[in-house]
């Protein structure tokens, strides 16, 4: 908690024959973060991959190709494959599966092509259904030219000016006139000209087929449907292959990935003709495990040592270490930046502040329940990864929102408890008065208590920013020294405390148009403290840092968004409720006073309105709560820029030893 895992730098050296076994042990332990060797010298070169690497990656490529074609997605395995049996199975099966899949896909492609061809023919034949001619009568003349097409105007009068020696057929297809003109070739030039001048003319190519259009059409349609059937049956076969082999393919993929990783590991080592050296980091508390395992599996021939020399802090890989509940919040930390080795890891702080801010903003029993339930479903569906972490964060935030919702007395924007507003009693859903906790009477009606809530938000902001400064103080003290810490962060703390004290006394006086409280010791003390802080700041960071002072004010004021987002969310809920209740469900104060139809409209408005508000209610509070962490809180102490700890190894999912 609060600090990244302690790391120890280790070196492992041995003769080259031991490289394979050592790699196996390390890979199985999934513990060492290998530092890539990349400064070749005369004695030490970058290692060469182990022998099976090229064959393994070849297999892996064809396997990935198959799984891409079949569209195999990751899922929870039903049974695990034995690693011992996999190599033989892979050699046997991969070529077979590949052949089966490839031949079927080839067939699919050729069928697709044929279907396209036939469908093109069908659309070419269709217009000729309108004409009483067999398709062969359009072809094979020596002295006659055939023109066919759509036309939207009278053509015969114009033809008559050229010649009377022609025959024309016409008919209607899809509300357009289709015609076929048979005319001696001698008039070709004039006819071409005439047709070009006709705006409505669209040429039709006569398909080179024999027979009557209706008969041909029927045949073609039959052929297409039989092709489609064939296509579907091949698809079903592929689905069968997919369901039969998908687990095997996933397992083989896992096995091959692991073996490739091992085979390519020497590319990260320093090797001489006869020996190798691995440079890397392991979590300090697990160093013993590494030592024991190497001793047990390899023996004394391999040399393992801790390297104690000073290294650049940025070289040390970072693994965040947080207890279960705050673990998901590491996602938010890593999204921003991975901390440096000696920095505070703020995941455990965010574990409290993020859901708290979220809940103060959302604060509605109904929305809280929906958010928590949704998060719960996502959490059970995705057992690992970023989505799981996000769901856990959302779940916690939802639960807290329910709690805050009780304090605000809100259920989907409806009042939960009976409450008196401006002398009028508002009936709540539960029909009882709100709870009293430690002398406070709840619910706090948000619209009626804007001022105290605003004050509360600003106080929260001040505390949060101050906490950030404290952590920043600690970070700088460790990285540099106490003096630097006082100049860089202590000065800001003084300005913050002094400024807040002074403003707290000044504002009420200004608002009630009283003179400046120059005699008040708190006011004077605050001003003095702030001035000392400013002097320290200028001394430490230079005169230009004065420009930064207003940022502190805007940082604290920024927390008023907690109230603002909350009010807008509650406001939308209230508007939706009022609209649907007054206009549709209870017009004139009577249930269903406007009839069933209007009531239904009311229900739709209620549903859609709350759905939209719920979506906004997840996005808004989530992003703004995060922003307060990132912008207002983190900037006070967090630098980041650490390298993530990526141990050499693999977490098995589909296979077992």
Partner 1 sequence: MDPTQAGMVAIGAGIAVGLSGIGAGMGEQAIGAAAVGAMAEDEKFFGKGLLMTVIPESIAIFGLVVALILLFVF
Q: Which residues contact 602 (CB under 8 A, 6 or more apart)?
A: 580, 581, 583, 584, 585
Based on CB atoms, which residue is closest to partner 1, 243 or 335?
Answer: 335
| Binding residues among 114-173 for partner 1 as defined by CB under 8 A | none
Binding mask 546-565 for partner 1 (x = CB under 8 A): --------x--xx-xx--x-
d(Cα 473, Cα 465) in Å, to the nearest integer?
Answer: 12
Angle formed by the axes of helices 491-511 and 450-479, nearest 10° = 160
Based on CB atoms, which residue is closest to partner 1, 266 or 642?
Answer: 642
d(Cα 640, Cα 342) in Å, to the nearest integer?
Answer: 10
User: What are the structure tokens assigned to 527, written together?
Assistant: 């001003």
Angle formed by the axes of helices 53-70 and 86-125, nearest 10° = 40
Q: How far is the CB of 487 from partner 1 (least distance, A)?
A: 24
d(Cα 183, Cα 329) in Å, to the nearest integer?
Answer: 83
| Binding residues among 462-521 for partner 1 as defined by CB under 8 A | 511
Based on CB atoms, which residue is closest to partner 1, 157 or 554?
Answer: 554
Based on CB atoms, which residue is closest to partner 1, 49 or 640?
Answer: 640
Q: How far is the CB of 630 from partner 1 (least distance, A)?
A: 5
Q: How far is the CB of 522 from partner 1 (least distance, A)?
A: 21
Using an 8 Å Cβ cutoff, are 191 and 226 in contact? no
d(Cα 94, Cα 75) in Å, to the nearest integer?
Answer: 21
Based on CB atoms, which residue is closest to partner 1, 204 or 456?
Answer: 456
Number of residues that bind partner 1 (CB under 8 A): 19
| Binding residues among 310-339 for partner 1 as defined by CB under 8 A | 335-337
Q: How far is the CB of 547 from partner 1 (least distance, A)?
A: 14
Query: Is residue 421 part of the contact set for partner 1 (CB under 8 A)?
Result: no
Q: Is 2 helix (H, G, I), strand (E, B) or coil?
A: coil
The alpha carbons of the chain give a radius of gyration, in whole angstroms, of 39
Using an 8 Å Cβ cutoff, are 32 and 290 in contact? yes
Q: How far is the CB of 495 from partner 1 (least distance, A)?
A: 18
Q: How far is the CB of 555 from partner 1 (least distance, A)?
A: 8
Q: How far is the CB of 627 from partner 1 (least distance, A)?
A: 5
d(Cα 190, Cα 185) in Å, to the nearest integer?
Answer: 10
User: What are the structure tokens assigned to 87, written together?
Assistant: 């190599």
Based on CB atoms, which residue is closest to partner 1, 45 or 627?
Answer: 627
- Region class of 579: left (phi > 0), else alpha (psi between -120 and 50), else beta: alpha
Q: Is 177 helix (H, G, I), strand (E, B) or coil?
A: strand
Using an 8 Å Cβ cutoff, are 15 and 274 in contact? yes
Based on CB atoms, which residue is closest to partner 1, 262 or 624?
Answer: 624
Based on CB atoms, which residue is closest to partner 1, 518 or 554?
Answer: 554
d(Cα 360, Cα 621) in Å, to the nearest integer?
Answer: 9
Using an 8 Å Cβ cutoff, are 530 and 603 in contact? no
Binding mask 561-600 for partner 1 (x = CB under 8 A): x--x------------------------------------
Based on CB atoms, which residue is closest to partner 1, 47 or 461?
Answer: 461
3-state helix, strand, coil in the chain (%, to 5): 65, 10, 25
Binding mask 608-647 for partner 1 (x = CB under 8 A): ------------------xx--xx---x----x-------
Q: How far is the CB of 560 from partner 1 (least distance, A)?
A: 6
What length does the chain have? Answer: 657
Based on CB atoms, which residue is closest to partner 1, 466 or 630?
Answer: 630
| Binding residues among 427-466 for partner 1 as defined by CB under 8 A | 450-451, 454
Residues that bind partner 1 (CB under 8 A): 335-337, 450-451, 454, 511, 554, 557-558, 560-561, 564, 626-627, 630-631, 635, 640
């Amino acid at each position: 908690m609060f600090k990244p895992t302690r790391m120890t730098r280790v070196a492992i050296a041995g003769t080259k024959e031991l490289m394979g076994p050592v790699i196996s042990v390390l890979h199985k332990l999934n513990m060492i973060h290998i530092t890539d060797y990349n400064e070749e010298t005369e004695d030490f070169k970058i290692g060469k991959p182990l022998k099976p690497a090229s064959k393994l990656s070849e297999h892996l490529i064809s396997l990935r190709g198959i799984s891409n074609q079949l569209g195999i997605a990751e899922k929870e395995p039903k049974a695990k494959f034995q690693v011992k049996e996999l190599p033989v199975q892979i050699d046997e099966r991969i070529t077979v599966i590949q052949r089966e899949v490839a031949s079927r896909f080839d067939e699919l492609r050729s069928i697709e092509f044929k279907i396209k061809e036939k469908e093109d023919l069908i659309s070419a034949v269709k217009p000729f259904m309108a004409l009483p001619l067999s398709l062969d009568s359009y072809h094979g003349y020596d002295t006659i030219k055939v023109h066919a097409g759509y036309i939207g105007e009278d053509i015969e009068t114009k033809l008559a000016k050229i010649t009377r020696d022609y025959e024309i057929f016409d008919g209607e297809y899809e509300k357009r006139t289709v015609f076929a003109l048979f005319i001696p070739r001698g008039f070709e030039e004039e006819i071409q000209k005439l047709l070009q001048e006709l705006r409505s003319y669209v040429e039709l190519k006569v398909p080179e087929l024999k027979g009557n259009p209706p008969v041909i059409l029927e045949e073609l349609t039959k052929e297409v449907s039989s092709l489609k059937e064939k296509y579907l049956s091949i698809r079903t076969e592929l689905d069968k292959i997919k369901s039969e082999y998908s687990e095997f393919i996933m397992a083989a993929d896992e096995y091959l990935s692991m073996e490739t990783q091992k085979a390519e590991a020497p590319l990260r080592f320093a090797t001489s003709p006869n020996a190798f050296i691995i440079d890397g980091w392991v979590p300090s508390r697990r160093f013993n495990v590494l030592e024991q395992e190497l001793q047990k599996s390899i023996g004394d021939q391999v040399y393992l040592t801790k390297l104690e020399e000073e290294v650049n802090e940025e070289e040390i890989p970072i693994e965040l270490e947080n207890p279960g509940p705050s673990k998901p919040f590491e996602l938010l930390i890593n999204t921003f930046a991975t901390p440096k080795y000696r920095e505070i890891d703020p995941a455990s702080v965010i574990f409290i502040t993020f859901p708290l801010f979220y809940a103060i903003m959302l604060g509605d029993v109904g929305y809280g329940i929906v958010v928590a339930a949704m998060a719960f479903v996502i959490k059970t569906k995705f057992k690992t990864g970023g989505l799981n972490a996000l769901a856990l964060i959302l779940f916690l935030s939802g639960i807290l929102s329910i709690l805050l919702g009780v304090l605000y007395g809100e259920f989907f924007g409806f009042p939960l408890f009976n409450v008196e507003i401006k002398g009028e009693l508002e009936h709540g859903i539960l029909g009882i008065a709100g709870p009293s906790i430690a002398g406070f009477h709840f619910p706090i009606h948000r619209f009626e208590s804007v001022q105290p809530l605003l004050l509360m938000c600003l106080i929260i902001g001040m505390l949060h920013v101050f906490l950030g400064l404290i952590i920043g103080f600690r970070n700088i003290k460790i990285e540099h020294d106490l003096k630097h810490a006082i100049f860089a962060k202590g000065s800001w703390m003084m300005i913050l405390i002094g400024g807040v004290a002074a403003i707290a006394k000044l504002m009420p006086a200004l608002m009630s148009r009283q003179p400046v409280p120059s005699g008040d010791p708190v006011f004077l003390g605050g001003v003095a403290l702030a001035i000392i802080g400013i002097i320290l700041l200028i001394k430490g960071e230079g005169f230009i840092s004065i420009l930064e002072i207003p940022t502190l004010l805007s940082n604290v004021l920024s927390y008023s968004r907690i109230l603002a987002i909350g009010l807008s969310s509650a406001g939308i809920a209230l508007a939706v409720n009022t609209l649907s209740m007054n206009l549709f469900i209870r017009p004139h104060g009577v249930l269903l006073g406007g009839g069933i139809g209007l009531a239904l409209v009311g229900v739709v408005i209620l549903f859609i309105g709350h759905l939209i508000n719920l979506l906004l209610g997840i996005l808004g509070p989530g992003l703004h709560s995060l922003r307060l962490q990132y912008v207002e809180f983190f900037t006070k102490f967090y630098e980041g820029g650490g390298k993530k700890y990526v141990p050499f190894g693999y977490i098995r999912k589909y296979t077992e030893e």
